[in-house]
């Protein structure tokens, strides 16, 4: 269906810097297994708290399960698209993708909002709606991989004017729209973390990264200090027990849910906190409900599954032979792992609350579809990895050509 990556093709005067992919081999099925495991856990928890949700939100008994199943079906479609459409195409398609993401953001800002969620974060098209920021993350990820890979190729990755400045402008623009207008500091933070991680791995000088970090920190401080709502959230975070009936309510209830799980938890069907005590039980707070049901053992198992999943992503990134692919995988890893950290950290009282979903576990169509789409790209990339992380010292490389052949030859399982 797609042209095999042959030496002759790679060497031909490339149209738009063709990818330096290794020989195609079987994809990394472990990645899919971890991913499916996470989805299954998430669906189980949503199913188990469905009675509570249907009572609290006055919807049908399995409303949330059906919606989540629909989201997962959509995710499968997205997965097959991103898996089958070649990476080369994605790399070149960053422009239209960015334009679509920009338009979606614009629509979210212009379209009327749902009175119960007043922030301009959702794009609503009749019965179908999604959060524009997920699309921004997805498109931005591809553009950034492409951009950084290009700079590496041009050997200008360390250039302030060619690499750092554009990155800063992009960060500022995104920060302004997402954090400023959409008031979604959580997502803005995730975007910053993704950009930072990719820039770090791409080889930006550490001094520059520190500089960006400092600027971001100042920006965040400003964003918090000008908004009383955020100040309250920060206050909540620092003194969680002080105001359990007011602004700290969700944080307190989350801690109560996690803590009352104990060692083995209350059992799958026995969560109490989902019955109206803990807000957003199926979405942002799902980890706390999970921890209440399955206790310390279950929580550690879930963390272990996440570690397994992240390790898989890390391995694929390490073994990628191509800068674009590697950065793309790192971006996906940064995206999903930072969201995981921010979400779980808030539930266990280590980080302030942010409206960030737990990847694959949380109920919510947009986040599942885009996360799975990203995994589709990684799954495709896993077909072109080297067999091993290169361990050869650079000195031992006889010449560059031999090194590549060595890698490519060994890259078939």
Partner 1 sequence: MALPNKNEILKPVGRIRVWYGGLILVLAVFGLQLFYIQIIQYGHYKAAALSDQLKQYQIPATRGIIEAHDGESIIPIVLNQQLYTLYADPTFIKQPDTLAKQLVPIVGGSASAYSGLMKTKNTRYVVLAKKITPQQQTKILSLKSPGLGTQGVDYRTYPQGSLASQTLGFVGVDGKGNYGIEQALNNQLAGKPGKLKAITDANGVPLAASKDNIDAAPKNGDTVVTTLDLSMQAQMEQILQQDYKNTKSQGLSAVIMDPNTGAIKAMANFPTFDPSNYANVSDPTLFNNAAVSNAIEPGSTMKILTTAAALDQGVIQPDTTFYDPAHWIVDGFNITDIEQDGGARQQNIASVLNLSLNTGATWMLMQMGGGQINTKARNVWYDYMTKHFRLGQTTGVEQGYESAALVPPPQDNGAGIDLTYANTSFGQGLQITALQMAAADSSVLNGGTYYQPHLVDNYITADKQTVNVSPKVLVKNVVSAKVSQDMQSLMENVVQQHLAAGFPYLNFDSKYIVGGKTGTAQIAQPGGGYYADKYNGTYVGFVGGDKPQYVIVVYNMQPQVPGYAGTYGGQPVFADLAHMLINSSFVSPKSH
Rounded to 5 degrees, φ, ψ at 204 are -60, 140
3-class SS of residue 131: strand
113 binds partner 1 (CB under 8 A): no
Q: How many other CB atoms are there within 10 angstroms of residue 186's CB atom? A: 22
Out of 33, 76, 172, 300, point to the residue binding partner 1 (CB under 8 A).
300
Residue 337: CB minimum distance to partner 1, A: 5
56 binds partner 1 (CB under 8 A): yes
267 binds partner 1 (CB under 8 A): no
Out of 257, 332, 346, 368, point to the residue binding partner 1 (CB under 8 A).
257
146 binds partner 1 (CB under 8 A): no
Smaller CB distance to partner 1: residue 59 or 77?
59
Helices (H) and strands (E) in the chain, counts: 16, 2
Smaller CB distance to partner 1: residue 104 or 251?
251
CA distances from residue 97 to 12, 103, 135, 344 in whole angstroms, order as listed: 27, 10, 9, 30
- Rg of the chain in Å (alpha carbons): 22
Total of residues contacting partner 1 (CB under 8 A): 71
- Residue linked to tokens 């239209």: 96
385's tokens = 């990895």
Smaller CB distance to partner 1: residue 10 or 95?
10
Distance, in Å, from the CA atom of 170 to the CA atom of 144, rounded to the nearest integer, reads 10
403 binds partner 1 (CB under 8 A): yes
Smaller CB distance to partner 1: residue 14 or 70?
14
330 binds partner 1 (CB under 8 A): yes
Q: How many other CB atoms are there within 10 angstroms of residue 20's CB atom? A: 18
41's tokens = 């856990």
Residue 81: CB minimum distance to partner 1, A: 27
Smaller CB distance to partner 1: residue 52 or 188?
52
Out of 158, 215, 318, 410, point to the residue binding partner 1 (CB under 8 A).
318
Distance, in Å, from the CA atom of 412 to the CA atom of 268, rounded to the nearest integer, reads 43
Here's the x/- map for partner 1, 59-78, by CB under 8 A: it reads as x-------------------
3-class SS of residue 122: strand
26 binds partner 1 (CB under 8 A): no
Residue 77: CB minimum distance to partner 1, A: 30
Rounded to 5 degrees, φ, ψ at 114 are -75, 125
Out of 34, 306, 324, 379, point to the residue binding partner 1 (CB under 8 A).
306
394 binds partner 1 (CB under 8 A): yes
Smaller CB distance to partner 1: residue 116 or 161?
116
Q: How many other CB atoms are there within 10 angstroms of residue 80's CB atom? A: 14
255 binds partner 1 (CB under 8 A): yes
Question: Residue 146 class from Cβ within 10 Å (0-12 exposed, 13-18 middle, 19+ buried)?
Answer: buried
Q: How many other CB atoms are there within 10 angstroms of residue 39's CB atom? A: 20
Site for partner 1 in 348-377 (CB under 8 A): 348-350
Region class of 20: left (phi > 0), else alpha (psi between -120 and 50), else beta? beta
275 binds partner 1 (CB under 8 A): yes
Residue 61: CB minimum distance to partner 1, A: 14
Site for partner 1 in 201-240 (CB under 8 A): 201-203
Candidate ranges 94-102, 120-128, 230-238, 304-312; the one touching partner 1 (CB under 8 A): 304-312
Site for partner 1 in 78-97 (CB under 8 A): none
3-class SS of residue 1: coil
110 binds partner 1 (CB under 8 A): no
232's tokens = 């309250």
Smaller CB distance to partner 1: residue 51 or 86?
51
Distance, in Å, from the CA atom of 102 to the CA atom of 189, rounded to the nearest integer, reads 18
Residue 288: CB minimum distance to partner 1, A: 10
Distance, in Å, from the CA atom of 19 to the CA atom of 2, rounded to the nearest integer, reads 14
Candidate ranges 34-42, 135-143, 333-341, 352-360; the one touching partner 1 (CB under 8 A): 333-341
């Amino acid at each position: 269906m797609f042209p095999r990556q042959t030496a002759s093709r790679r060497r031909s005067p490339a149209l738009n810097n063709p990818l330096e992919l290794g020989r195609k081999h079987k994809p990394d099925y472990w990645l899919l297994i971890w991913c499916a495991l996470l989805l299954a856990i998430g669906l189980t928890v949503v199913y188990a708290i469905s009675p509570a949700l249907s009572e609290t939100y006055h919807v049908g008994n399995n409303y949330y399960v059906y919606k989540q199943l629909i989201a997962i079906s959509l995710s499968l479609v997205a997965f097959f698209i991103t898996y089958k459409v070649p990476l080369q195409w994605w790399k070149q398609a960053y422009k239209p993708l960015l334009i679509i993401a920009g338009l979606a953001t614009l629509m979210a800002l212009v379209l009327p909002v749902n009175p119960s969620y007043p922030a301009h974060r959702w794009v609503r098209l009749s019965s179908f709606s999604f959060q524009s920021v997920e699309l921004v993350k997805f498109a931005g990820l591809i553009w950034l991989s492409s951009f950084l890979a290009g700079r590496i190729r041009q050997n200008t990755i360390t250039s302030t004017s060619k690499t750092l400045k554009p990155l800063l402008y992009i960060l500022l623009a995104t920060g302004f729209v997402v954090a400023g207008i959409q008031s979604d500091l959580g997502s803005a933070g995730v975007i910053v973390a993704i950009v930072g991680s990719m820039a770090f791995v791409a080889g930006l000088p550490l001094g520059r990264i520190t500089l960006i970090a400092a600027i971001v920190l100042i920006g965040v401080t400003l964003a918090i200090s000008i908004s009383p709502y955020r100040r309250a959230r920060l206050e909540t975070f620092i003194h969680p027990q002080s105001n359990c009936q007011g602004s700290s309510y969700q944080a307190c209830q989350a801690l109560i849910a996690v803590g009352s799980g104990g060692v083995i938890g209350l059992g799958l069907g026995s969560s109490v906190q989902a019955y109206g005590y803990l807000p957003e039980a199926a979405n942002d707070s799902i980890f706390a409900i999970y921890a209440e049901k399955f206790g310390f053992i279950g929580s550690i198992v879930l963390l272990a599954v996440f570690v397994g999943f992240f390790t898989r992503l890390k391995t694929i990134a390490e073994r990628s032979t191509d800068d674009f692919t590697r950065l793309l995988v790192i971006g996906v890893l940064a995206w999903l792992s930072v969201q995981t950290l921010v979400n779980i950290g808030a539930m266990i009282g280590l980080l302030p609350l942010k409206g960030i979903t737990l990847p694959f576990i949380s109920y919510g169509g947009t986040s599942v579809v885009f996360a799975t789409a990203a995994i589709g790209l990684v799954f495709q990339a896993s077909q072109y990895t080297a067999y091993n992380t290169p361990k050869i010292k650079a000195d031992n490389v006889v010449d560059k050509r031999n090194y590549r052949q060595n890698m490519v030859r060994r890259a078939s399982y």
